[in-house]
């Protein structure tokens, strides 16, 4: 009976994930500036969240092992860490693909990309630690302690570190529903930062109700500059022109104009902004989270069971010797 239920669960998860994959192309609409590449968000964000869940489960079972000393708890801790590492790699790969579409490069050491890389190194060190210690009891104890301390870094690296730096173009504010980028207010001749691009307001021109800003944009390292001309309609309180940043798909917009102070508030507008506001996209996104979460727990159970079998066989072989 239990075996049949396990087979049914595996089949259901497979069908569910396949349904999400199909829905990405048949249900989720394309978004301006992103095309088909925008659909990768349906996989990128859920795999990132599931990786955090997996590392949390690993820390939980590590704590249980230190408390009760049961080998199966160590098996589950290792299985969860391995799954978390795999989902982190998937999140990194899908994020790199999305980065190429939006930024024009697969990798640019953005704070979030850097923090994910550090996280991968931390858990790779866990696996190296386990393989370096031959004594089983000592390996399990040290690994459990390391796993708990490793998880302490996860909230900081995933949720805090990427938001501390002002020099980032990762879409913290551009793609999360209900959030908003801060932008920068500049008067003529003033310099500020939008993401990791230096911007300087050269001039403001008004023709009727339309105000156009002439903004010089410098790439990181000041390797190249380009002048953009975003515009804003004062009567309608609406953006008119949204020029694209050089080499990227992010766009520059004027959010507000202060005629008395001869200044404007500039901001970044990402392609696909408000993606989750679409009901079909939101439904598919939630289905993806559910599917990948179920996949993780199935992988966790299968891998932990295999580790338990391997340990039992190793003990049996040792007893024979």
pTM for the predicted model, two decimal places: 0.77
* pLDDT at position 28: 77
Contact 195, 168 (CB under 8 A): yes
pLDDT, greater one: 116 or 162: 116
Span 86-129, pLDDT tens digits: 999 999 999 888 877 766 778 878 778 889 999 999 999 999 99
DSSP string computed for 234-299: TTTTEEEE-PBPTTSS-EEEEEEEETTTTEEEEEEE-TTTTGGGSHHHHHHHHHHHHHHHHHHHHH
Which pLDDT tens digit goes with each residue over 21-46?
Answer: 888 888 877 765 566 666 788 888 89
Q: How confident is the model at residue 199 (pLDDT cuts 50, 70, 90)?
A: confident
Higher pLDDT pick, 20 / 147: 147
CB proximity list for 46: less than 8 A, separation 6 or greater: 285, 288, 289, 291, 292, 293
Angle, helices 111-132/136-155, rounded to nearest 10 degrees: 170
Q: What is the pLDDT of residues 63-72, one digit of tens each?
A: 999 999 999 9
* d(C-alpha 217, C-alpha 310), whole Å: 59
What is the pLDDT at residue 177? 40
Q: What angle do CA 246, 176, 274 make, to 5 degrees?
A: 75
């Amino acid at each position: 009976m239990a075996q049949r239920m396990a087979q049914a669960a595996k089949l259901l998860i497979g069908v569910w994930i396949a349904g999400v994959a199909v829905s990405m192309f048949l249900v989720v609409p394309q978004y301006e500036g992103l095309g088909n590449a925008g659909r990768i968000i349906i996989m990128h964000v859920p795999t990132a969240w599931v990786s955090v869940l997996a590392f949390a489960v690993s820390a939980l079972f590590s704590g249980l092992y230190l408390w009760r000393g049961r080998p199966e708890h160590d098996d589950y801790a290792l299985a969860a860490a391995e799954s978390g590492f795999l989902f982190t790699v998937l999140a990194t790969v899908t994020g790199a693909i999305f980065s190429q579409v939006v930024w024009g490069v697969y990798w640019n050491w953005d704070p979030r990309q850097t923090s994910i890389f550090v996280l991968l190194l931390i858990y790779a060190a866990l696996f190296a630690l386990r393989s370096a210690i031959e004594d089983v009891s000592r390996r399990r104890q040290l690994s459990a302690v390391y796993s708990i301390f490793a998880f302490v870094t996860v909230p900081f690296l995933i949720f805090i570190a990427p938001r501390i730096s002002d020099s980032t173009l990762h879409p913290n504010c551009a793609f999360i529903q209900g959030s908003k980028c801060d932008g920068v207010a500049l008067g003529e001749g003033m310099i500020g930062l939008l993401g990791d691009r230096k911007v300087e307001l050269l001039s403001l021109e008004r023709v009727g109700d339309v105000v156009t800003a002439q903004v010089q944009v410098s790439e990181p390292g000041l390797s190249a500059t380009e002048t953009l001309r975003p515009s804003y309609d004062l009567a309608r309180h609406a953006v008119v022109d949204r020029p694209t940043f050089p080499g990227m798909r992010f766009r520059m917009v004027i959010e507000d104009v202060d005629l008395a102070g001869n200044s404007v508030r500039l901001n970044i507008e990402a392609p696909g902004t408000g993606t989750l506001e679409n009901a079909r996209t939101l439904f598919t996104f939630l289905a993806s989270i559910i599917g990948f979460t179920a996949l993780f727990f199935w992988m966790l159970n299968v891998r932990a069971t295999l580790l338990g079998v391997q340990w039992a066989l190793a003990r049996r072989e040792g007893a024979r010797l």
